[in-house]
Structure 1
Amino acid sequence: MFSGAQVSLYPMTSNFVPVILDAVKALDPHREQLRIETDDLSTLLVGPPEILFKAMHDLFVTAARSGEHVVLHVTVSRGCPGEPDAEICRPSVVLGERKPTSERISSAQAVIDSTAESNQHVSAQFSYYPLGENKEYMTEIYAAIDFIKNSGVFSKSKNFCTKLEGDAAKVFGTLGQVFLNFAPEQAHVTLDITVSANSPSTKK
């Protein structure tokens, strides 16, 4: 299997260079588990699906703690048929375990409930695509929606996407559980994610 994310960070400040460089340094604890490549457009993270969201959380929270308005855009994928299997991507958890939907939702919620907060408020919106020939893809989407609505970070449904809001650790954790649990292991799954912190539009 191949899993990875293309990550682009946008600090809304003229002093953007140190914000970006400090955020990239936050990936250092994950470098043994990830292949990381950076160019002028994005940073590629390749590795186990369960590690990707922890790394993205650390990168974004570091940037957000600068106090500047920062936005992260991510395309994350697992199981793409156009990518070769990579040993570094071998997960330590079972992906999309074929348990009853209610059990998968309960297991995912238990992970979120036990997640320590990062004390950084964020807003996010995402679209979820379980691809391939799986005729039950809408069942998986509805299961993910049921989980999200009870996750504690659901904000509202929007055209073509869902908005989340809350502590960064809970938001990234919820996105990670969707990615891990709501499509079969052999499925091609992608998420398109935008995360924002310190936006002036949220300040009164």
Structure 2
Amino acid sequence: MFSGAQISLYPMTDDFVGVITSALGALDPYRNQLRIETDDISTLLVGPLEVLFPAMRDLFSAAARSGKHCVLSATISRGCPGEPDDAICDSFHFEGPVAPLAERQATALAAVQDAPDIGVFSVAQLSLYVLGQGNHMDEIYGCIDFLKQSGTFEKSKHFATKLNGDTGALFATLEQAFCRFGSPQGHVAIDLTVSANSPSAR
């Protein structure tokens, strides 16, 4: 399998370079488990999903601690048929047989309950795409049911679901949504936007 994310970090401040470069240090503990490639548009993170989501969480949390309005935009994908398998992406999430939907929802909820408290409040919206399988809507509806019970659910929107909470719980919710729904061998993608310190009134 190939799994990874194209991410872009946008601090809304004149010192955006300083915020970004300071936040990049949060990726240091993950560098030996991820392949990281940066260009002038985005940064590609390739690796196991149990590493990928904490890495994104810590990068975004470090930037948000600046107190500036920060946004993370990401396209996350696994199992794309156009990408070659890569051993660096092997993940414990896909070991063993696929459990029934209700069991996967319960496992996902337990993982969110065990998420660390990072101390950074954020909001997010995501759209989950389960591609290339006939029961894709069953998986999407199952994911939405999980999101509504996760403790991070805020509301449903056209084309997306809005979440809020501590970044620990938020990124744990995102990881579980991405890994527990859709075939382990199938192509699954998430379109994600995360925001912290927005000046907009909630």
**Normalising to structure 2: TM-score of the pair?**
0.97
The amino acid across from 1:119 in the alignment is: G
Matched, 1:158 2:163: no
- Shifted more, 152-161 versus 94-103: the winner is 94-103
Q: What residue is the counterpart of 1:126 in the other structure?
A: 126
The amino acid across from 1:137 in the alignment is: H
- Shifted more, 70-79 versus 22-31: the winner is 22-31
Structure 1 runs of 4+ aligned residues shifted over 3 Å read none
Asked if the contact 1:12/1:70 (under 8 Å) is kept, the reply is yes
CA deviation after TM superposition for structure 1 residue 115, in Å: 1.0
Q: What residue is the counterpart of 2:44 in the other structure?
A: 44
CA deviation after TM superposition for structure 1 residue 6, in Å: 0.3
Matched, 1:88 2:88: yes
Q: What residue is the counterpart of 1:191 in the other structure?
A: 190
Q: What residue is the counterpart of 1:77 in the other structure?
A: 77
Alpha-carbon distance between aligned partners in 2 of 1:158 and 1:191, rounded to the nearest angstrom: 15
Cα RMSD for the two superposed structures: 1.2
Alpha-carbon distance between aligned partners in 2 of 1:142 and 1:183, rounded to the nearest angstrom: 11
Alpha-carbon distance between aligned partners in 2 of 1:190 and 1:96, rounded to the nearest angstrom: 22
Alpha-carbon distance between aligned partners in 1 of 2:92 and 2:49, rounded to the nearest angstrom: 9
CA deviation after TM superposition for structure 1 residue 202, in Å: 3.3
CA deviation after TM superposition for structure 1 residue 95, in Å: 6.3
Q: What residue is the counterpart of 1:108 in the other structure?
A: 108
The amino acid across from 2:158 in the alignment is: N
Asked if the contact 1:95/1:184 (under 8 Å) is kept, the reply is no
The amino acid across from 1:202 in the alignment is: A
Alpha-carbon distance between aligned partners in 1 of 2:2 and 2:142, rounded to the nearest angstrom: 24
Matched, 1:56 2:74: no
CA deviation after TM superposition for structure 1 residue 24, in Å: 1.5
Q: What residue is the counterpart of 2:134 in the other structure?
A: 135
The amino acid across from 2:19 in the alignment is: V
Question: Superposed, which structure 2 residues align to 1:170-185 within 5 Å?
Answer: 170-185=169-184
The amino acid across from 1:92 in the alignment is: F
CA deviation after TM superposition for structure 1 residue 18, in Å: 1.1
Asked if the contact 1:96/1:183 (under 8 Å) is kept, the reply is no
CA deviation after TM superposition for structure 1 residue 92, in Å: 2.4
Residue by residue over 1:98-152, the C-alpha shift from the partner in whole angstroms, topping out at 9 and shown as x without a partner, is: 21211111111001101121111000001000101x1110110011011000000
Asked if the contact 1:6/1:45 (under 8 Å) is kept, the reply is yes
Alpha-carbon distance between aligned partners in 2 of 1:202 and 1:95, rounded to the nearest angstrom: 43
